[in-house]
Structures are given as C-alpha cells and as structure tokens.
Chains A and B, each alone.
Chain A
C-alpha cells in the first residue's frame, strides 16, 4: 500500500515537473551532424574524452593566448566522417560547415583537417589561458593556426555539419 502511494507521489511529481523540464535551459553543447555515421552532441565535459591539444597565438589584441581543446579531426572521426583511407572519390566533395550562435558560418574542406593530407591541425577549443572561453567567444571556438586571417577562428560554435557540395 505504502509502495503504491510512493509510486503515485513519484508520478505526480514527474507530471508537475514536465513543464519545468521543457523550460530548462539546455547545457551549452555543439552538434556534429550531416554526412556522419553517428551524430554527436558534445558538451565541454565530453572534450575530456579526446586527446588534449593546444595552441599559443596572438589575438587581435596583440597579446599571446594559449588555447586548449582537441583536434577537430578527432571529433569528426568519432562521428564516423569519411577521413583517412576513406577520404577519396566523391568524399572529397564534402565540406565541414561550422555555424556560430549568431548565424555566422565558415567552411573547412575535409583534406585540410585530415592529418594524412595536411600537417596543420584545426582545434576545437573550450579554454583560453586556463579558463573557460568567455561569453561571446565560447563555450566553443575553432582555432586554425595556419590561417593568416582569423575569420575562420569561428567563435560561439553551435553546430558542425558535414555536407556534400551539391
């Protein structure tokens, strides 16, 4: 009897909390989707599952900063993007479309991210000088050390989509 009462209480509590759950803010995350085998949703905590990578660079302010994160290619590999031996034929006509919270978009081609093609490493970073990226820059940003202009160092990354150029 008491058990049933507890279950009833639990059900009522759950029902009451449904509207609040839908109002709850989503934790900051990025989605990896499109031409992938496994779509991913990554939070900052998930980045700990990848090998750490960092880059020191001067920002627009002229000061040197250390960005810390992971190689973007590793995240794409985890999602099952056609890289390495599979990056051939029509797969060379895919691009990585990166979108920011404000709608800003940039693309990378797969070969420029793939270590079998390029010695450059594009980083998906979440920390700057040992602290989480500030609002307006983070929680996620790309760092492309090989780019002379930082226009593809896209801030506030929300989604990464692998798409065929039709």
Chain B
C-alpha cells in the first residue's frame, strides 16, 4: 500500500520493522475485505475524466461489479450464444476496430446481411437511446436484439441459457456475479451490459490535449478550429460546424438527425420508432471517438473513407423535407449553399479526426477476448 513512502537510510532497522508490521496489517485488512463472508461482488470502479460529465446510466437493479464485468466479458466473446456457435458479440464488434467490424453490413448466422452498419461500442455509459434509430432505452434491453435476431446471432435466450448450463465455469461465474448459479436470460443481458459499461475511451490525443498533456500539431489545431467553428463568411470566419452535433469532450451528443444522404431515404430511420413523419431519415449522430478506425461510415456503410464523408458534408448534402436545419445553407461563402471548404481545410479536419483515436482503448487487455489472452 505505502510502497512509495520514503524511509531515509538514517532511520533505524526498528523503524523499518514497524513499517513491515504495519504493511502486513494493511495487506491483511485488504485481503479480508476481498474475502467477505457473504460473497458479495465487489464494485467495479468506472473511471472517467470530469469533463465527460456525470450523466451516466446504471440501472439500480444492475450495479457494475468486478465479477459481473468478468462474466459479461466472457459472454461478449461467447460463440455459444449464436445458433451455429460461430458468432459472438465480439465478431461484429472487434476491439482492434474500436468494436466495429470494418464491413458495411455484417453477416448473420443465416448468412444474410444486417440492415445497418455495426456500431462502435464506446462510452456507452453516456448513451441513453441505443441503435442507429435509438429504439432501445438501455444496454440490458439492447443486448437481447442482436442475440435473438435471426439475421444476427439467431438464437433464443432459452437456448442460450441451456447451452451455458452445459459449461461448468459459467455456473461458478454466475454465482460470483449474481449470488446464484441459476443461469437465466435476465442475468445474461445484465452481465453483458455491465461489461459494455466499462468500455470507456478517454485517452486519445484529443483527451490529452484537453487535459493539457498533448500539444497538437499546427495542422491538428487548424482542423480542430474548423471542426468546432460555425462558418461566418461575413466575419471572415471559416468553419465546418461539425462540433454543433459532434462536439464536447466526448465528441458525442445524444442527437438524431437527417444528414442529407438521400433525397428519399430508403431506410426511414427514427420514423419507424417514433411514428412521426418529421423523423423520416433521421439517425443517431454517432460518436466520433476512434472514427478513423470505424470505417465504413454512415448507417449503411456507404462511405469507405473519412475523405468521402467530408466530401458528403462539403458538397453532396441532399435536400429533403426532414433534412437537418443545421446542414441547410451553412457555407463559408456568402450566399453559398454548401460548406465549400478547400482541400487543405478538409485534410486539416481529417488530421483532427485522427486525434480521436484512442490506442489505450483498443489495446486495453481488460476488454479483450479472455479465452484468447489465456492461450497467449
């Protein structure tokens, strides 16, 4: 505990012995604290920078615990949760790709494609409505959908429970996490949600810049300013106004907008959830954290590169009745209809977007497949 306390060479051996005794006492207290008689799971500390804000969601009936997270991590990488034992959550949410799969659409157990692009799993503690259309109000509820959807993992929760019951280690892990070895659907989704809550990314160069420990390059700084600023040609201010919807220390805001991909959206997006015509073609404004790793982009993965995404916002916004008013008539030229950024400015913005890549996050051993790390 007090390993860093300095003891000068002048101090007597007797003093050192007293320290030793005290250290043993402290360690014993810690150990006895871990081995509580009632076998209560230990709270999992969710650590994040203060500028992320505390508007996080943890249901009262599913506190985050070390044992629950360990179980959730096992389940996240458990292929037995799919109908043909070939897919786990981790198949379409790979850590090295910031928990996406690099595909426009993912292939399910029935070999069909998902309807939308696999979303990055990051900083989910701050998300209040899940999926591209925000239809799910919590991680516990969300987790059931990909597991049971015939075009994804395609297995009923009942079948998953039966399969896990055949694996002895799960009995032990469920008992540690929830106090009972009785495996059920509710505990599966709770454990998955607990693990997902720990997927916190807060160590990108941009985070370090905000913390005052990283000095961005001149290009990154230019890109950051363009990203944050709304253009005001009458004042000579150039900008891309990305931060309006993607701003803040998390580069995530809980918003749903039609970003002008199509004049007539093929996928009605949030309209199918809200039943309101004003929501046609509206989708989640996704987090930009690790955005350089999560191609292809948009709900249908239509853009392969960040350059294509910038071209879209700069030159190809499609007008429609539900187009976001923030994307209409925003321009760097007086009377301009589109952003009209030049090539250098687009490159600067991409340099800033690359500042959002958090290598600590994608290499964090706590988030990796536990079976793979055991083998290594």
Which residues of A line the B interface, CB within 8 A? Answer: 25-26, 28, 101-104, 135-137, 155-156
Contacts and interface: CB of A to CB of B under 8 A. Distances in A.
Given A135-B321, A136-B324, A136-B325, A101 B255 contact: no
A101 B274 CA distance: 9
A28 B129 contact: no
A28 B275 CA distance: 10
Interface in B233-264: 253-257
A26 B275 contact: yes
Interface in B255-310: 255-257, 274-279, 282
Given A25-B277, A28-B276, A103 B129 contact: yes
B255 A103 contact: yes
B321 A102 contact: no
Contacts of A156: 278
A104 B255 contact: yes
Nearest to A138: B278
A26 B325 contact: no
Given A25-B277, A102-B256, A102-B282, 5 more contacts: A101-B256, A103-B254, A103-B256, A135-B278, A136-B325
Interface string B303-328: 00000000000000000011111001
Contacts of A28: 276, 278
Contact of B328 (A26, A102, A136): A136
- Of A26, A28, A102, chain B has the most CB atoms within 10 Å of the CB of A102
B41 to A, nearest CB: 25
Contacts of A26: 275-276
A155 B276 contact: no
Contact of A135 (B254, B274, B322): B322
Nearest to A135: B321
Task: Please classify the interface of chain B as helix (H, G, I), strand (E, B), loop, or mixed, using the class held by over half of its residues.
Answer: loop
Interface residues of B, number: 20
B278 to A, nearest CB: 6
Contacts of A135: 278, 321-322
A136 B327 CA distance: 11
B242 to A, nearest CB: 16
14 contacts: A25-B275, A25-B276, A101-B274, A102-B255, A102-B282, A103-B129, A103-B134, A103-B254, A135-B278, A135-B321, A136-B322, A136-B323, A137-B325, A155-B325
Contacts of B324: 102, 136
Nearest to A60: B230
Contacts of B323: 136
A123 to B, nearest CB: 20
A45 to B, nearest CB: 17
Nearest to A156: B278
A101 B278 contact: yes
B276 A101 contact: yes
Interface in B51-81: none
A160 B61 CA distance: 28
Q: Which 10 A-B pairs have the closest CB atoms?
A: A136-B325, A103-B255, A103-B254, A102-B255, A25-B277, A102-B256, A26-B275, A103-B256, A135-B321, A102-B257
Contact of A101 (B254, B275, B279, B328): B279
Nearest to B277: A25
- Of B253, B257, B322, B325, chain A has the most CB atoms within 10 Å of the CB of B325
Nearest to A105: B254
B327 to A, nearest CB: 10
Contacts of B255: 102-104
